[in-house]
Every structure is written in C-alpha cells, then in structure tokens.
C-alpha cells in the first residue's frame, strides 16, 4: 500500500543521507522524495512516498524515528491530507499538435510557462495520479523532458507537524 511519510529533520549535513541510507540498507522502496528547509532554519521538511504492507510500514516508521536526526514524523496517509506534486514537462509543439497540447493543458488546468518556436514547457500541479494522467494524455505528443518535484504533503485541518 502507498504511504506518504512526512518528516521534520535536523537541517544538518549528513542527515538526508541517513534517511536515504536507511531505505537502501533495509531494502525499503522510495518512490518519491522531496526535501527543503522550513520557516525554522534548523529544520528541513522531508516528504517521501513508499509502498509496503503494514508490517513493513511499521518497521519503516520505527526505524526512521530511531535516527537521531529525525525530530518528528507523521504518516500523512493515515488521515485526511493534501498532496501535491509539481511537474514541468517540455513537449514538441508544432503544427496541429500545438493547439491540441494547449487544449489538453487547459483541461488539466496546467500552465504553459515557456514557449519556443517548436516547444512548450507546461507546469502542472496536483496529485501524482493527476500528473500521470496528463503524461498519458500527452501520449500523441513528442515528450522531450519530464521533471517532477515528488510529493509534498500536509494534513488537513488542525493537525500539524511541528515541534
């Protein structure tokens, strides 16, 4: 089952490698990974998506919590939450495809953020599923490049992950 784990991590050199190393060392999957500083400069917020059965997930969260650099951790997928992935996708846009791509982008509420004589660069945010659907919808087009931020997530309502 797919899970979204969000971590407050000490903003220290080597902290990220401990998290990543744990996953490879113990044979867990990481599907997406997103990390950046927070408003508190001593902390980074790391969001990762992974898959595993309940027993594996229990071990993953316990093992992560055991890392000295992990300050706090939450499994966002246990409750109501918002998840967003940002995608920048560059496609060949010429001839009849140019209009078609524009229409599809509008349907998905994406934005064309860079225009070249023969290319469009489209920005799209949403769940991973929505981005996957957009890529699928672009099957006819010539996709030149895809870059995704990985999932960032936050709980809905009053629930917060902070010190």
Partner 1 sequence: MELLSGGEMIAKALEDEGVEYIFGYPGGAVLHIYDALFKTCKVPHVLVRHEQAATHAADGYARATGKPGVVLVTSGPGATNAITGIATAYMDSIPMVVLSGQVATHLIGEDAFQETDMVGISRPIVKHSFMVRHAEDIPATIKKAFHIATTGRPGPVVIDIPKDCTRPDAKFEYHYPDNVKLRSYAPAQRGHTGQIRKAAKLLLSAKRPVIYAGGGVILGESSELLTTLARKLNYPVTNTLMGLGAYPATDRQFLGMLGMHGFYEANMAMHHSDVILAVGARFDDRVTNTVSRFCPGAKIIHIDIDPTSISKTVAADIPIVGPVQSVLEDLLEIIGSLQEKDSQQPDTGALGRWWQQIEEWRAKHGLWTGRRYGESDRIMPQQVIESLYRVTGGDAYVTSDVGQHQMFAAQYYKFDKPRRWINSGGLGTMGFGLPAAMGVKLAFPDMDVACVTGEGSIQMNIQELSTCKQYSTPIKIINLRNNYLGMVKQWQDMQYEGRYAMSTYEDSLPDFVKLVESYGHVGIQVTRLDELDQRMEEAFAMKDRLVFLDIFIDPMEHVYPMHVAPNGAMKDMWLSKNERT
C-alpha span between 91 and 74 (Å, rounded): 37
Residues in region 144-163 near partner 1 by CB under 8 A: 163
Q: Which is nearer to partner 1, 86 or 161 (CB)?
A: 161
| Cβ neighbours of 95 (radius 10 Å) | 9
Q: Which is nearer to partner 1, 12 or 99 (CB)?
A: 12
Instruction: Say if strands 81-92 and 142-148 run parallel, antiparallel, or are unpaired.
Output: antiparallel
Q: Which is nearer to partner 1, 71 or 138 (CB)?
A: 71
Q: Crossing angle, helix 96-107 and helix 128-137, to 10 degrees?
A: 160
DSSP alpha helix (H) spans, 32-77: 54-66
The answer to the question of residue 18 lying near partner 1 (CB under 8 A) is yes
C-alpha span between 62 and 52 (Å, rounded): 14
Q: Which is nearer to partner 1, 42 or 118 (CB)?
A: 42
Q: Which is nearer to partner 1, 78 or 99 (CB)?
A: 78
Which residue in 125, 142, 151, 127 sits closest to 90, CA to CA? 142
Smallest separation (angstroms) from partner 1 to the CB of 64: 10
The answer to the question of residue 27 lying near partner 1 (CB under 8 A) is no
Smallest separation (angstroms) from partner 1 to the CB of 101: 44
What DSSP state is assigned to residue 27? T
Smallest separation (angstroms) from partner 1 to the CB of 108: 40
The answer to the question of residue 25 lying near partner 1 (CB under 8 A) is yes
Residues in region 47-76 near partner 1 by CB under 8 A: 55, 58-59, 62-63, 65-66, 68-72
DSSP annotation string for 91-128: EE--THHHHHHHHHHHHTT-EEEEE-SSEEEEEEEE-H
Residues that bind partner 1 (CB under 8 A): 10, 13-14, 17-18, 21, 25, 55, 58-59, 62-63, 65-66, 68-72, 163
């Amino acid at each position: 089952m797919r899970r979204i784990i969000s971590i407050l991590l000490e903003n220290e050199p080597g902290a990220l490698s401990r998290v990543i190393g744990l996953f490879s060392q113990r044979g867990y999957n990481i599907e997406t990974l997103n990390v950046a500083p927070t408003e508190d400069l001593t902390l980074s917020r790391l969001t990762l998506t992974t898959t595993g059965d309940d027993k594996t997930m229990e071990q993953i969260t316990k093992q992560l919590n055991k890392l000295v650099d992990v300050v706090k951790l939450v499994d966002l997928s246990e409750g109501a939450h918002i998840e967003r992935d940002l995608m920048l996708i560059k496609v060949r846009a010429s001839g009849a495809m140019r209009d078609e791509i524009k229409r599809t982008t509008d349907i998905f509420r994406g934005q064309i953020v860079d225009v070249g004589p023969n290319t469009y660069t489209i920005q799209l945010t949403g769940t991973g599923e929505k981005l996957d659907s957009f890529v699928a919808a672009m099957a006819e087009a010539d996709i030149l490049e895809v870059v995704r931020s990985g999932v960032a997530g936050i709980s809905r309502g009053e629930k917060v992950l902070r010190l």
